[in-house]
A = this chain, B = another copy of it.
Amino acid sequence: MAHDIRIVTEAQLREAIQLDLTAVDVIEEAFAALAGGEVVMPPILSMDLPQANGEVDVKTAYIPGFDGFAIKVSPGFFDNPTLGLPSLNGLMMLFSARTGLVEAVFLDNGYLTDIRTAAAGAVAAWHLAPAVVETAGVIGTGVQARLQMQAAHLVRPFSRLLVNGRDPAKAEACAADLRATLGIEVEVCADSETLVRNSQLVVTTTPARAPLIMADWLHPGLHITAIGSDQSGKNEIDPKALAAADLYVCDRVSQCETSGELEAARAAGLMLRTPPELGQIITGQVKGRLGPSAITICDLTGTGAQDTAIATHVAKIMGDAGTVIPV
């Protein structure tokens, strides 16, 4: 009855999987499955810990046809930087979809989440951004700002990139990193309005609680992906912008209405009809971009289906990485 559990560290996972088109395909498949209606994805278990200035989220999803399902724990403890520790960390577990036995524990400190989140941005850009993107813009200067632009560049190889952030030094550092990674022209753009007006593809990657992008900055031939909001009260896009766009798409409506951009829009009395989900665009159940001049917005709160998809994929490609523990 003994079985083996594989324990894999962040360093080993970084060897095994990187952000590339294969990862994007894996995440696209997860979104398509979500549209099929047979995925089981319970509400996120969310534990708020004001006494520790922290929060913990647990996500999971079962996707029929996948060999396994993941359960992911994401703690965020915001006093950690004063201790020299990152705020975000956590781990992902992979279970057999047939027996429920634990097969692997990925001690990834959030690395797999970073990859699957960025890959979702690429899926959104692939299906919703204008066919030709010359200039992309990113608002935010953290890990996801970098990864989102790498991911977007895989599917829309833009030649110019604008970076906007509250801290000029961080914006410069982010721009320098992306210049080196992508080998294209990358500029810091101190004014977010200028950034939006000059880009065909914009990604917001911040924990903002007040809109960063206003409705009257929208212009024909623009796609925006908002990935920052993942908790009630967060808001990156002006509710009026959601209403003004030709198409607004959720990763999961039930999540976006409680923790995504849809929450603020609904609170403002806008966007009362149920919007489509990204999976429905992928599978063709709902039409995506109507033409080169359309304005589209995609709201990504992060789904357990992405975690299950990335974890089962890693398990397939990781070879004999990690430590095997017989239990």
Contact = CB atoms under 8 A, between A and B. Distances in A.
Interface of A: 1, 5, 7, 9-11, 38, 40, 42-49, 51-52, 54, 56, 58, 60, 62, 64, 69, 71, 73, 75-77, 80, 83-86, 89-91, 93, 95, 97-102, 105, 107, 109, 323, 325-327
B47 A40 contact: yes
Nearest to A55: B100
Contact of A93 (B40, B73, B100): B73
Contacts of A40: 47-49
Contacts of A83: 99
Nearest to A42: B47
A86 B71 CA distance: 20
B95 A102 contact: no
A47 B62 contact: yes
A47 to B, nearest CB: 5
A170 to B, nearest CB: 19
Given A47-B62, A83-B99, A85-B99, 17 more contacts: A5-B107, A7-B105, A9-B326, A40-B47, A40-B49, A42-B45, A44-B45, A49-B62, A56-B71, A58-B60, A73-B95, A75-B101, A77-B98, A77-B100, A89-B101, A91-B102, A102-B107
